[in-house]
Each structure stands twice: as structure tokens, then as C-alpha cells.
Amino acid sequence: MRNTFLLLSLVLATSFTHAGRNAAGKKRPSPVVIAYVGGFRGQVLDPQTIAVEKLTHINYAFVDIKNGQAWLTNERTDTVNFRLLNTLKQRNPGLKIMISIGGWAWSENFSDAVLTEEARRLFAHTSVDIVRKHGLDGVDIDWEYPGVPGEEGNIYRPEDKQHYTLMFKALRASLDSLEAETGKQYQLTTAVGGGKYFIDHTEMDKAQQYLDYVNIMSYDYKTNPNGIAGHHTNLYGSTKDPEESSADRSVKLYLAAGVPPEKIVVGIAFYGRAWALPDGENSGLNRQALKGARGGGFTRLKDSLMTQGYARHWDRKAKAPYLFHPEQFIFVTYDDERSTRLKCKYVKKHKLGGVMFWEYSSDPKGYLLSTIHKSFNK
């Protein structure tokens, strides 16, 4: 009986470990601040431009998949960037540096890479081997999207729903093996779509047990250049439609799907999306667009567009800003300091895991990151 009790205790302890590092009984940690930092263009990063003291995580975007294996497309610059990012721990010893695998352009091979148990072991091993080789802190998966089309040409299957969960199981097992070797803890996270389509094609209640954080991409709610010009990163709905996309609706979907609140991370857009409208009715909000227009990073929006004839508007219902040019009829949707503060307040109020943002270089002057830092350190 005593041996049975000990075995049961060990199983329970292991399950709590897999359920994340924020186990019951521990003091609630401060909200995480996760920055996606892009290396996918093949450029060498300048670590001095990263305000690392204001971050908890850097997700290096992206690692590709080739022949079922995690693969550094830009190996020459990626390896340099890993070394440079690791130097940031001199300024912030608690920083976690993760590889993010996939993204919009490099998700076409996920379905094949996790199709069988053998394939999943290979994918997990090669993913974690990059972490091991470069002294990093974990793996982030950005599969866009399991079970449904993402970029044109992506491979997807109905079976992705189950394989998505089993992929995380394999990754967690491989990370646990590395932990046994090094004595260091490694994290496993994922970026997820903000809509019900993502919930319907995954098993988030099962997948979350292997994950430390679930990073909701609560942006790009509006992307169609010939569609409706509306908010792309709003906290709440702007219309009477109860199914209108918003960060609040996304959070509630993931909570209902079985993801614990302390694992949910809310996304903030460091960039804007824009449309050309036929006229100035309603300052462009929720109007049919003619075509897409240039948006850009928040630093550009704040320092340039707002001084070039664009009027700033605030949607009190959606808790979101937008710009409109009354002569050119250009509508721009984005996050600013005010909406960012409100998202941070929302995270604290609902005891969520924290915030993440795409992408660091879109706001080089740090307007929004400074707002996040101040909001979480009052």
C-alpha cells in the first residue's frame, strides 16, 4: 500500500509539473511580458535596442520546419542572434529566450511533421536540440493553423486536432529529458488564433496540461483588404453582434475551452492595419472598404501619421483607438498607450498570465512597451 501511495504521489506531482509552473499554493507571479522578436528576415539583431529590463520572455521568430525537423532557415544569422540574445541575461537574469516555430509563412509543414508518433518524436527532438545547442529556455509553437487553412498552400488535416495535443506531449517529454540532463527548467508555450475556429480544431483542455502559457493572437481580427474596415485589436466588441471578435471574447472562448486563466496571455498589436474608404461616413469605422492601405508600426503611426492630417478617434464601447484622414478617407486601426493600459488592467483584473506583443521592431521608440511596464509596476 505504501508503495502504491508513493507511486500515486509521483504521478500527481508529475501532472502538476506538466500543468505549468504556476501551481496552486505558490505565490501568484507577476504578469509575463512576452516580446516576439523577428529574425526571419535574416538580419542580425542589435541587442542594445531591446529594453530587456521590461520583458520576461523573448520569443525568437521564427524557426522553420523541413523534412519533419525543426530547421534554422537563416542558420548563419540565427546562431549569431541566439548568442547576442543570451548576452541580455547579464541585464535581466530572469529572462527566458524561446524559439518560436512556425508563424504565418512557415506553418505549411506542421501537419506532416506531427502525423505519426515517430514523426512527433523527431520533430520534438530536433526542436529541443536547438534549445540545448544554443543555451535557450524553451519552445513556442505558432502553428497557423491546425485543421484549417492558413497561408495558401498549407497542408492541413482533420487529424490535426488530436495531433496538436500529441505534439505538445512529445515536446514536453523531450524538454523534461533535457531538464534531467541540465537541472534547469524549460518552458513550452504556444501562440493561438483568437477565433472560435481555433478552439473547434484543437483540444485546448488537453493541450494546456503540457503548456506554461497560451498566447492569444488577439489582433488581426480584421484583415481582408476588400472587407469591412473595423478594429483589428479591440478589447471589446464595437457593434451589437455578440460574436464580434475582441480580446475579451477570445479570452472567454479559451477559458470555456479549459485553459486556466493564469496560463492565458493577451496579445497587443505593435502595428496598425489600414483601409481606403469611399467617403468619410462614420469616420470609416465598420464601413465597407475599397482596398487595403498602408498601416505600419506604432512608432510610425504616432510620430508621422498623427501629424499628417489624420484625426484620432476613440471607440468607448470597444476601448480601442482609430485614425481617419478626412480628405484621403484612410482608416487605421491599432493599439495605442490608452488601449494598452486597458488591456493590462484587464489582465490584472481577471488574473490572467500576462501580455505578449507582435513585434518588437514595430515600436522602436518603446512607447507601448513602456506603457506595459508602467501598468504592471504601479
By CB atoms closer than 10 A (0-12, 13-18, 19+), residue 115 is middle
The alpha carbon of 361 is separated from its chain's Cα centroid by a whole number of angstroms, namely 15
Mean pLDDT value across residues 317-337:
98
- Span 267-282, pLDDT tens digits: 999 999 999 999 999 9
For the cut 70, the answer to whether the pLDDT of residue 85 exceeds it is yes
- Span 221-275, pLDDT tens digits: 999 999 999 999 999 999 999 999 999 999 999 999 999 999 999 999 999 999 9
Per-residue confidence band for 6, with pLDDT thresholds at 50, 70 and 90: very low
Which amino acid would we find at residue 67? N
At 42, is the secondary structure helix, strand, or coil? coil
Rounded-to-10 torsion of CA 73, 181, 354, 295: -10
pLDDT value of residue 45: 98
Mean pLDDT value across residues 312-332:
98
Which amino acid would we find at residue 229? A
Per-residue confidence band for 26, with pLDDT thresholds at 50, 70 and 90: low
Question: How crowded is residue 19: how many other Cβ atoms within 10 Å of its Cβ?
Answer: 17
pLDDT value of residue 25: 46
Mean pLDDT value across residues 117-125:
98
Separation CA 179–CA 216 (nearest Å):
27
Closest by CA to 297, choosing from 240, 346, 369, 351, is 369
Separation CA 39–CA 74 (nearest Å):
8
pLDDT value of residue 306: 86
The alpha carbon of 108 is separated from its chain's Cα centroid by a whole number of angstroms, namely 18
- Span 130-174, pLDDT tens digits: 999 999 999 999 999 999 999 999 999 999 999 999 999 999 999
Instruction: Pick the catalytic residue from 53, 75, 144, 243.
Output: 144
Beta partners for residue 271, in sequence order: 297
Q: Would you say 320 and 234 are in contact if contact means Cβ atoms under 8 Å apart?
A: yes
For the cut 50, the answer to whether the pLDDT of residue 2 exceeds it is no
pTM over 0.95, yes/no: no
pLDDT value of residue 20: 44
Mean of the per-residue pLDDT values for the chain? 93
For the cut 90, the answer to whether the pLDDT of residue 32 exceeds it is yes
What the block records as the C-alpha cell of 68 is 519533419
pLDDT value of residue 4: 37
For the cut 90, the answer to whether the pLDDT of residue 28 exceeds it is no
Domain 12-269+335-376 has CATH 3.20.20.80: yes
pLDDT value of residue 170: 99
Per-residue confidence band for 284, with pLDDT thresholds at 50, 70 and 90: very high
Beta partners for residue 324, in sequence order: 311, 331
Q: Would you say 331 and 289 are in contact if contact means Cβ atoms under 8 Å apart?
A: yes
What the block records as the C-alpha cell of 275 is 483601409
Mean pLDDT value across residues 50-78:
98
For the cut 90, the answer to whether the pLDDT of residue 117 exceeds it is yes
Q: Would you say 171 and 190 are in contact if contact means Cβ atoms under 8 Å apart?
A: no
* Ranges of each domain in the chain: 12-269+335-376
pLDDT value of residue 123: 99
| Active-site residue, 144 included | yes
